[in-house]
Amino acid sequence: MNKREYLDCLERLLADLPQEERLEAIEYYSDYLEEAGPDGEQEAMRKLGSPEVVAAAVREGLGSNGNEGSWTETGYERWEPRFDAPAKQTDSDRREHRKLRILWGLLAIALLLFLKLPFLSVLGTILIAALIVVAVLRRS
């Protein structure tokens, strides 16, 4: 396969991509093979791998942020944990926090009822309790 055939094949393999992406990729690999010079062309194509391999690499880069796999000497392999992002607060963490807050709210209500503050009627206590519950739920 010569350079022209290689690039034509690659272009066909990328036909379903948006035009800009396809053109960028072809331009890159065309420049790349030219860089190798007429004598180095075959070797460069061999080192790149088949057009299928190159097309897969292009797709892989576009499909995700590339963070679903990793590169080894034998090629791209799926999934490796990233080293950068610290663990974010998970949903279960949030639920735990929420439960804690509700618990505190209920404790506050229980305390109020227990104290039976003289200037508060029963209705007043219930109203304050309701306000506390709403405030707690809003914050969580």
For other proteins, the binding residues (CB under 8 A) are 21, 24-25, 27-29, 31-32, 34-36, 44, 47-49, 53-54, 57-58, 60-62, 65-67, 69-77, 80-84
CB of 69 to other proteins, least distance (A): 8
29-to-1, 36, 102 alpha-carbon distances in Å: 15, 11, 60
- For other proteins, the closer CB: 45 or 109: 45
- For other proteins, the closer CB: 39 or 84: 84
Candidates 97, 21, 105, 11; CA nearest to 60 is 21
CB of 90 to other proteins, least distance (A): 21
CB of 93 to other proteins, least distance (A): 23
Q: Supply the DSSP string of 4-61, one letter for each residue.
A: HHHHHHHHHHTTTS-HHHHHHHHHHHHHHHHHTHHHHHHHHHHHH--HHHHHHHHHHH
CB of 65 to other proteins, least distance (A): 7
H/E element holding 127?
helix 122-139
- For other proteins, the closer CB: 59 or 98: 59
Query: Tokens 């309701």, residue?
Result: 130
- For other proteins, the closer CB: 71 or 104: 71
**14, 22 contact by CB (below 8 A):** yes
